[in-house]
């Protein structure tokens, strides 16, 4: 039966009367045809609603795709709404920007532990710059008083209240290390925190659900939680605000050091660096071979905190000599 | 029946069965793609409207701005030990007296000094006054080779001994600064030596911390105590 198949084709081409076709072959072809017809019918039925979308409903809306990238105009609307909310809640006129990462720049920070004397001006500058909750004197920085001879930051003390520096102590400010392998980003269940191209890890305060997984995941205790709506007077509000940095945060959201990205992405130095009276802080572009930060990495004894965890911080500590 | 159906199909579409299937599927795929694209274009912004997070500013010239090292105000001064009506210490330029009065080169240490210099604190190695001060012109300073250097160029004087500090300063690893890390966008201002170091007592002074976040680490860091768990919630800020 199957041997006849080529002959069938041949004979149809030569328009000779068809020989008696094999019933098996015929059934297969017929079944295939029926299956295709059914498939087409099903496809037509499936896509029919797309053709019949009402004019005033967008495809995204129709497919219930609520998560789409905001256009620049959409963003401006969001910033205007947030500024209006700040005006209403705090009575302060602010501008909210969303500076993008500078192409080709990778930020890094270094602190000279031979110079830092634990005076805490950096913590204060952070508090003022980033519109922190005045009620708890929130700051992204913690200055740890460490016993000479130990690098264990878990043994560091933040409660010292005596003149500094003490003879047997050294002082280590700890803030977000902007890791290249950030555990806080990995654990976020809603992707409300991510690493930007210049290395800064940011939080979308309006996307954060406040689960605090990131706080638990951070080995540097660098994340802060807003237990309350930040209290701050209108006069003390810094009006130069960034959507991903120092704008007013709602209660129940996480926040963290963002290297003052509203300043640094405009080329300025971070607030904590400018405030440091000892000149212990160095900030710059890791991708610029002539930057101060690169000179330090090449010429000083540099270490990172908890290197064994593999977090790959962009934050370095060094000593003179 | 099968024979008749075959005839019917052959009559309508004079092709073989497999070609028919191929054609039908191809037409269906093309139709689906066209339909999908037309619907997408109808409802979505065009590709050029999709925002990117890359700055569209034109690349700027590197190092357009300069680093300005602050200069000390003109002329060295000495404290008189008096305060004015607002409580500020009164200082007087060295030149006020020493333009006419020869210094006593026998005076090597602070304790030898009298009159204006009484109470001057000095702790800077084994230097004496005239190691740095220029007895020819008290408005200026003097390098180790006795050559004159302007008071505003005090860093040249300090760098004679403090070479490593000067090296670190030149690479941004010593001394505070303000302004811009990116010199293509703005200038940077840097402190000079005597902005932070009193040249007579150069050791950086002790300070009293004034700002403390009320932090979860506020409780003393003694992990062996059990009281930690009691304070759990309220201090976990």
> Would the CA dihedral through A280, A286, A292, A295 be positive or negative?
positive
C-alpha B206/C-alpha B144 separation (Å) is: 30
- Chain B contact set for A70 (CB, 8 A): 51
The predicted pLDDT at position A21 comes to 53
C-alpha B24/C-alpha B27 separation (Å) is: 5
| Å between B92 CA and nearest CA of chain A | 27
Query: What values do phi and psi take at A284, rounded to 5?
Result: 180, -170
pTM of structure: 0.74
The predicted pLDDT at position A85 comes to 93
Mean of per-residue pLDDT scores for chain A:
89
CB contact set of B126 (below 8 Å; sequence gap of 6+)? none
Question: How many helices (H) and strands (E) in chain A?
Answer: 10, 12
Q: CB B178 to CB A100 under 8 A?
A: no
Question: Residue A267 is encoded by which pair of tokens?
Answer: 């080329």
For residues A234 and A90, is the Cβ–Cβ distance under 8 A?
Answer: yes
Question: What is the arithmetic mean of pLDDT over A209-213?
Answer: 95
Q: CB B3 to CB A225 under 8 A?
A: no
- Chain B contact set for A196 (CB, 8 A): 53
C-alpha A317/C-alpha A305 separation (Å) is: 8
Q: CB A156 to CB B174 under 8 A?
A: no
The predicted pLDDT at position A20 comes to 55
Q: CB A296 to CB B171 under 8 A?
A: yes
Residue of A40, A103, A162 with shortest CB distance to B54: A103
Question: Residue B62 is encoded by which pair of tokens?
Answer: 């590197």
Residue A294 vs residue B28, higher pLDDT:
A294
CB-side neighbour CA atoms (13 Å) of B6: 19
Q: Does B173 touch chain A (CB under 8 A)?
A: yes
The predicted pLDDT at position B229 comes to 38
- Closest by alpha carbon to A281, among A95, A137, A116? A116
Neighbours of B97 (CB within 10 A): 14
Nearest CA in chain A to B22: A36
Q: Is the pLDDT of residue A77 over 50?
A: yes
Neighbours of B31 (CB within 10 A): 14
Residue of A32, A102, A120 with shortest CB distance to B210: A120
The predicted pLDDT at position B56 comes to 52
Angle separating helix axes B17-43 and A23-51, nearest 10 degrees: 10
Note down pLDDT in tens along chain B; length 237 residues.
444 444 444 444 444 556 667 777 788 788 777 776 666 555 544 444 444 455 555 555 567 899 999 998 877 888 777 788 888 888 888 888 888 888 877 777 777 777 677 777 888 998 888 899 998 888 899 999 999 999 999 999 999 999 999 999 999 999 999 999 999 999 999 999 999 999 999 999 999 998 988 876 555 555 444 433 333 333 434
| Å between A160 CA and nearest CA of chain B | 9
Residue B161 vs residue A6, higher pLDDT:
B161
For residues B93 and B74, is the Cβ–Cβ distance under 8 A?
Answer: no
Instruction: Return the percentage of chain A with pLDDT > 90, whole number.
Output: 76
What does the DSSP 8-state code read for residue A248?
A: P
- Chain A contact set for B172 (CB, 8 A): 282, 284, 292-293, 295-296
Q: What is the ipTM of this complex?
A: 0.77
Lowest mean pLDDT among A237-246, A292-301, B26-35, B38-47: B38-47
The predicted pLDDT at position A17 comes to 57
Q: State the Rg of chain B over Cα.
A: 40
C-alpha B156/C-alpha B192 separation (Å) is: 10
Q: Is the pLDDT of residue A140 over 80?
A: yes
The predicted pLDDT at position B42 comes to 56
A248-291: per-residue pLDDT in tens? 999 999 999 999 999 999 999 999 999 999 999 999 999 999 99
């Amino acid at each position: 039966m199957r041997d006849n198949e080529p002959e069938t084709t041949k004979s149809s081409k030569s328009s000779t009367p068809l020989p008696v076709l094999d019933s098996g072959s015929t059934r297969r072809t017929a079944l295939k045809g029926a299956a295709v017809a059914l498939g087409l019918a099903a496809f037509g039925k499936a896509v029919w609603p797309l053709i019949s979308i009402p004019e005033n409903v967008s495809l995204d809306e129709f497919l219930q795709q609520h998560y789409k990238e905001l256009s620049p105009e959409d963003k401006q609307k969001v910033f205007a709404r947030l500024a209006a909310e700040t005006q209403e809640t705090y009575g302060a006129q602010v501008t909210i920007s969303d500076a993008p990462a500078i192409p080709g720049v990778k930020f890094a920070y270094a602190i000279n532990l031979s110079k830092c004397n634990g005076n805490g001006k950096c913590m204060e500058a952070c508090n003022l710059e980033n519109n922190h909750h005045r009620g708890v004197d929130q700051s992204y920085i913690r200055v740890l008083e460490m016993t000479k001879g130990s690098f264990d930051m878990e043994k560091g003390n933040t409660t010292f209240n005596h003149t500094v520096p003490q003879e047997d102590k050294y002082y280590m400010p700890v803030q977000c290390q902007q890791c290249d392998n950030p555990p806080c980003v990995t654990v976020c269940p809603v992707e409300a925190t991510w690493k930007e191209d210049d290395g800064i890890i940011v939080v979308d305060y309006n996307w954060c659900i406040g689960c605090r997984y990131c706080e638990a995941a951070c080995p540097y205790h660098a994340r802060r939680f807003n237990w309350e709506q930040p209290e701050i007077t209108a006069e003390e509000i810094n009006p130069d605000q960034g959507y991903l940095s120092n704008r007013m945060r709602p209660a129940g959201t996480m926040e963290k050091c963002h290297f003052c990205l509203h300043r640094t992405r405009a080329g300025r130095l971070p607030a904590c660096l400018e405030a440091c009276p000892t000149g212990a802080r160095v900030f710059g572009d890791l991708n610029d071979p002539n930057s101060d930060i690169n000179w330090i990495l090449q010429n000083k004894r540099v270490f990172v905190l908890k290197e064994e965890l593999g977090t790959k911080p962009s934050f370095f500590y060094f000593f003179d000599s | 029946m099968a024979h008749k159906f075959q005839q019917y199909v052959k009559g309508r579409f004079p092709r073989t069965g497999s070609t028919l299937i191929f054609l039908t599927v191809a037409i269906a795929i093309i139709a689906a793609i066209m339909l999908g694209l037309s619907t997408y274009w109808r409802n979505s912004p065009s590709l050029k409207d999709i925002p990117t997070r890359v700055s569209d500013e034109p690349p700027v010239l590197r190092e357009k701005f300069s680093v300005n090292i602050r200069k000390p105000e003109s002329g060295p001064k000495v404290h008189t030990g008096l305060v004015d009506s607002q409580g500020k210490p009164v200082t007087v330029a060295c030149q006020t007296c020493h333009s006419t009065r020869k210094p006593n080169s026998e005076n090597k240490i602070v304790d030898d000094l009298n009159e204006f210099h009484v109470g001057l604190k000095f702790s800077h190695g084994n230097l004496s006054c005239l190691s740095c001060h220029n007895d020819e012109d008290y408005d200026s300073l003097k390098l180790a080779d006795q050559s004159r250097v302007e008071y505003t160029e005090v860093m040249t004087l300090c760098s004679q001994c403090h070479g490593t500090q000067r090296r670190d300063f030149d690479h941004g690893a010593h001394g505070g600064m303000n302004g811009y890390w990116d010199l293509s966008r703005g200038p940077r201002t840097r402190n000079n030596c005597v902005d932070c170091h009193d040249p007579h007592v150069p050791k950086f002074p002790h300070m009293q911390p004034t700002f403390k976040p009320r932090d979860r680490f506020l409780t003393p860091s003694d992990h062996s105590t059990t009281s930690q768990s009691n304070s759990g919630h309220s201090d976990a800020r």
